[in-house]
Amino acid sequence: EVQLVESGGGLLQPGGSLRLSCAASGFTFSTYSMNWVRQSPGKGLEWLSYISSSGTTIYYADSVKGRFTISRDNAKNSLYLQMNSLRVEDSAVYYCARAALVSPDYWGQGTLVTVSS
């Protein structure tokens, strides 16, 4: 069974940093591209970042480019999102999602990030 489990969310002040993790199991992680997607009441579902199976190809949404960094460790079956210079509008539930063909097929349960002063 495919499982994706996010962790690392929390409450922090604007300008702070946070690293999210996503632990994958039930599939050969090293052969799949992965994504981070977030969901907030105000903006709905928003794709943030993509990383290829080898980690050599990376894309970001304009809203997080230069502030967020996606990475992966295939030996640990883990995906990461380093988030810097956080803003109030970054508050959301953050999901990792496996990329399959052209649509994410499996998603984790999400981790909540709240940025507030």
Partner 1 sequence: EIVLTQSPGTLSLSPGERATLSCRASQSVSSFYLAWYQQKPGQAPRLLIYGASTRATGIPDRFSGSGSGTDFTLTISRLEPEDFAVYYCQVYGSSPMYTFGQGTKLEIK
List 32, 95, 113, 115, residue binding partner 1 (CB under 8 A): 95
What is the contact mask toward partner 1 in residues 62 to 81, using x (rule: CB under 8 A)? x-------------------
Query: Exposure of 72 by Cβ count < 10 A (0-12 exposed, 13-18 middle, 19+ buried)?
Result: buried
Q: Which stretch binds partner 1 (CB under 8 A): 9-17, 21-29, 39-47, 75-83?
A: 39-47
CA 83-85-87 angle, 5° bins: 95
Q: How far is the CB of 19 from partner 1 (least distance, A)?
A: 20
List 34, 35, 68, 72, residue binding partner 1 (CB under 8 A): 35
Could you give phi then psi for residue 103, rounded to 5 degrees?
Answer: -140, 135
